[in-house]
C-alpha cells in the first residue's frame, strides 16, 4: 500500500456514528452532567469515559439515550 493510498483513505474516513445519520448530543445522553466552558464542552459521568467532552453537539459512540431529555432541541445553559 502506498503512502498516497493511505493519505487518501484517511481523508475519506467517516466518523463512526452508531445512531446512523442522526446526531445525538451529549445533553440527550444518560451520562451527561452539565455544560462547561460556555457550552463548548460537556461534563460526562460515563465510568471509564471522558470527564470532559469537547464539541458535545456530536456526542460519542457511548451515547445512551436518556428518556425525556430529547424533548428539548437546545442544549441547557452552562453553569455560570
How many other C-beta atoms lie within 10 A of the C-beta of residue 46? 18
The residue (of 2 and 38) whose beta carbon lies closer to ligand SF4 is 38
Contact map string, positions 16 to 55, toward ligand SF4, x by CB under 6 A: ----------x--x-xx---------x-x-x--xx--x--
**C-beta of residue 65 within 8 angstroms of C-beta of residue 38:** no
- Residue ranges in contact with ligand SF4 by CB under 6 A: 26, 29, 31-32, 42, 44, 46, 49-50, 53, 56, 59-60, 62-63
Amino acid at each position: 500500500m502506498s503512502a498516497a493510498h493511505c493519505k487518501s483513505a484517511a481523508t475519506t474516513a467517516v466518523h463512526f456514528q452508531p445512531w446512523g445519520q442522526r446526531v445525538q448530543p451529549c445533553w440527550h445522553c444518560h451520562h451527561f452532567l452539565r455544560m462547561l466552558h460556555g457550552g463548548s464542552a460537556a461534563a460526562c459521568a460515563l465510568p471509564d469515559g471522558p470527564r470532559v467532552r469537547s464539541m458535545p453537539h456530536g456526542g460519542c459512540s457511548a451515547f445512551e439515550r436518556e428518556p425525556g431529555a430529547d424533548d428539548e432541541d437546545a442544549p441547557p445553559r452552562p453553569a455560570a
